Structure 1
Amino acid sequence: MNAITFYTRRLEQATSFEFNVFDNQFATENLAVRKVLMAMLESVQERLSDVEIEYNDGMLAEKIGAKRAGELLRFMGANKENSRETRSNGVVVSRTFHAPLTEERYEYFYNLKDIATLAHYRLKEGEEDRIVFYFTRYLQLIAPDDQATDKFLARLDSFSLPYKLVPIS
């Protein structure tokens, strides 16, 4: 297996690790990619408090079926009160909602078979992003300190995932 590339950048005390889906040429349901998400989740697990999800109704229904899409969105905490629409020329192109990250929701992400089931999500510590998946382009960890960084890299090692870090400015 080729080494997984992470683009890294310091953000004050934090370090950003960006897994670019195109550069790494793995399908989003590949076990290696799933393990990257698992390592990210474990590195900041105790800090995560919220989830924010953006989705397109039609795309999600096409991917997992209308009934399952509705069940998933309700499970994740979507409701009329916490959802907002993004429109283009009067047409709803996406919806976004913010909800607490419960243990069950954390487990959903941890056991996700395809990290792109939901098109865009952010796992947050309060208002701060910690893990971001953005429309099959990238998966990003924003490790708030050296301890989280060390946990992330140690977990990648324990999964036997070869990686290389490429600093960017």
Structure 2
Amino acid sequence: MQAVLLYTKQWGDATSFEFNVFDNQFATENLAVRKVMMSMLEAVRPRLTELEVEYNDSMLIEKLGVRRAGELLRFLGSTKENTREQTSQGIVVSRSFRSPMTEERYRYFYEMKDIAELPHYRLLEGQEDRIVFYFTRYLQLIAPDQESAEAFISGLQAFSLPYKLVPLK
């Protein structure tokens, strides 16, 4: 198996680990990609307090079907009150919502079979991004301290997942 490339960058005490989907040439449902996601989640698990999801209705319905899309959005905390519409020239291009991170929602992300099931999501600690998936381009962990960064690397090693860290300046 080829090594997973992870681009790293230091931001003060925080370390960003970015898994670029294009550079790694893995499908988003590949087990290696899922192991990266699971390692990211475990590294910051106690810190996660909120979830933000952005989606396009028709794309989500095409991927999941009407019933499953509706069930998933409700499960993740979408309500009429917390959903915002993003428009372009009067047309709704996407919707987004924010909700508390619960144990059940954490489990959903940990057990995802395809990390691109939702097109854009952010798992947060308060207002700070901790894990970001952005439209099948990248999956990013922002480890706030050395302990979280080491926990992420330990998670990759525990999964016997070969990886290569590529520092960015």
Task: Calculate the TM-score normalised by the size of structure 2.
Answer: 0.99
| Structure 1 residue ranges without an equivalent (≥5) | none
- Per-residue Cα deviation, 1:1-21 (whole angstroms, up to 9, x for no partner): 111000000011100000000
Partner of 2:158: 158
Q: Does 1:21 align with 2:13?
A: no
Residue 11 (structure 1) aligned with residue 11 (structure 2): yes
Q: Distance in 2 between matches of 1:82 and 1:13?
A: 33
Give the 3-state SS of the residue equivalent to 1:81 in structure 2: coil
Deviation at 1:89, TM superposition (A): 1.2
Q: Which runs of 4+ in 1 moved over 6 A?
A: none
Shift of 1:103: 0.3
Matched with 2:124 is: 124
Amino acid at match of 1:45: R
Cα distance in 1, alignment partners of residues 53 and 122 from structure 2: 6
Structure 1 match to 2:35: 35
Alignment of 1:32-111 (within 5 A): 32-111=32-111
Unpaired runs of 5+ residues, structure 2, are none
Root-mean-square deviation over aligned CA pairs: 0.4
Determine the C-alpha separation between the residues in 1 that align with 2:87 and 2:12. 35
User: TM-score when scaled to structure 1?
Assistant: 0.99
Deviation (angstroms), 1:80: 1.0
